[in-house]
Amino acid sequence: MPELPEVETVRRGLAPVMEGAVIAQADVNRPDLRWPFPENMSERLTGRRVLGLRRRSKYILVDLDSQESLLIHLGMSGRMLISGHTVGDFHHEHPAPAKHDHVVLHLDSGVRITFNDARRFGAMDLMQTDAQDDHWLIRDLGPEPLSNGFNDSYLVERLSNRNTPIKSALLDQRIVSGLGNIYVCEVLFRAGIHPKRKAGQIAAMRVAGLVPIIRAVLEEAIAAGGSSLKDYRQADGELGYFQHGFQVYDRESERCVNPGCTKHIARIVQSGRSSFFCPQCQR
């Protein structure tokens, strides 16, 4: 499932062509994805001007001049694809309609935004913009890891006395929003912390040190366009490249990248998810 860097990359790709444009026609080609679409979704989108695009955790929020916001969740295989626009000397022609094109937004500029989702684990919803924090998918989310609200004192307090493994704690969206399996594995490797260590037993100084590492990993991943594993693509159809810089994730049995380390990357399963780590460098 796309994590914060992938979703932010898609948002940045969509913003230049969507912001300020009017949705001339919204085609909703099925009644639901993971959950039912909101009532009269096509009518509520058609004719509306896009004021801006934001991201909250792993959700893209499209603010409309109707005082509503369209929430987009990419799910496992969802893609937001742009066609009918020109980048430099290259023009992206509209492709033929595809089987899994579930929602298509025709903009007044001639650009088309297509939400394609083969597995249908994605979602879309409409909500009042000023009531965003009450939406059931958003109301319990923790702070954004790149925001000022996510700092060392906050994380130390939230992890204090917690008996859960640090890997699980960092994946808890109520503690910090947007982190997923890939980037937590990479963060813990850089921090030298074993994924099974109990969060409440890690020294406060080491917990505080996770904050800049989390930010650095996410910022590097965003700069690389995210990580392309299986289905993920950027809004222009290009792959992300951060996977080429993985230090532990998906590198089971490969040599540790730390100088002087002779161990190989190991994998364990925690709560149904693979954790990759170096048994020598992470304690």
CATH number of the structural domain spanning residue 268: 1.10.8.50
Q: Are residues 126 and 180 in the same domain?
A: no
Distances (CA, A) of 216 to 145, 220, 224: 10, 6, 12
Is residue 283 assigned to a domain? no
Q: What is the pLDDT of residues 22-36, one digit of tens each?
A: 999 999 999 999 999
pLDDT of residue 94: 81
Of the candidates 162, 176, 251, 246, the one whose C-alpha atom is nearest the C-alpha of residue 211 is 176
Residues 183, 3: contact at Cβ < 8 Å?
yes
CA pair distance 13, 11, nearest whole angstrom:
5
The CATH number given to whatever domain includes residue 96 is 3.20.190.10
Q: What is the pLDDT of residues 42-68, one digit of tens each?
A: 999 999 999 999 999 999 999 999 999
Q: Is the pLDDT of residue 232 over 50?
A: no
Last residue of a domain, one of 134, 168, 197: 134
| Overall average pLDDT of the 57-85 stretch | 93
Q: Are residues 165 and 126 in the same domain?
A: no
Q: Which residues contact 120 (CB under 8 A, 6 or more apart)?
A: 32, 33, 34, 75, 100, 102
| Overall average pLDDT of the 217-246 stretch | 62
CA angle 29, 30, 34 (to 5 degrees): 130
pLDDT of residue 227: 55
> Strand 123-128's sheet: what is its strand order?
50-56, 59-64, 68-73, 123-128
Q: Are residues 123 and 162 in the same domain?
A: no
Tell me the residue range of the domain where 116 lies.
4-134
Per-residue tokens: 199: 């969060």
Q: Is the pLDDT of residue 186 over 90?
A: yes
Q: Are residues 9 and 99 in the same domain?
A: yes
Q: Are residues 115 and 201 in the same domain?
A: no
Last residue of a domain, one of 134, 167, 187: 134
pLDDT of residue 239: 42
Q: Are residues 181 and 270 in the same domain?
A: yes
Confidence of residue 231 (pLDDT cuts 50, 70, 90): very low
**What CA dihedral angle connects 82, 88, 90 and 92, to 10 degrees?**
10
Is residue 84 assigned to a domain? yes
Is residue 231 assigned to a domain? yes
Q: Which residues contact 39 (CB under 8 A, 6 or more apart)?
A: none
Last residue of a domain, one of 134, 167, 197: 134
Is residue 144 assigned to a domain? no
Structural domain total, the chain: 2
pTM of the full predicted structure? 0.89
96 or 266, higher pLDDT: 266
Q: Is the pLDDT of residue 133 over 50?
A: yes
Is residue 143 assigned to a domain? no
Per-residue exposure over 113-137, b if at least 16 CB sit within 10 Å of its own CB, e if not? bbbbbbebebbbbbbebeebeebeb
pLDDT of residue 88: 52
Is residue 33 assigned to a domain? yes
Q: Are residues 52 and 171 in the same domain?
A: no
State the catalytic residues: 2-3, 58, 273
Is residue 147 assigned to a domain? no
Q: Are residues 8 and 130 in the same domain?
A: yes
Q: Are residues 160 and 194 in the same domain?
A: yes
Q: Are residues 157 and 130 in the same domain?
A: no
Q: Are residues 191 and 247 in the same domain?
A: yes
**Packing angle of the helix pair 4-18, 204-223 (nearest 10 deg):** 40
Is residue 141 assigned to a domain? no
Q: Are residues 184 and 127 in the same domain?
A: no
Percent of the chain with pLDDT over 90: 78
Mean pLDDT of the chain: 91
pLDDT of residue 86: 63
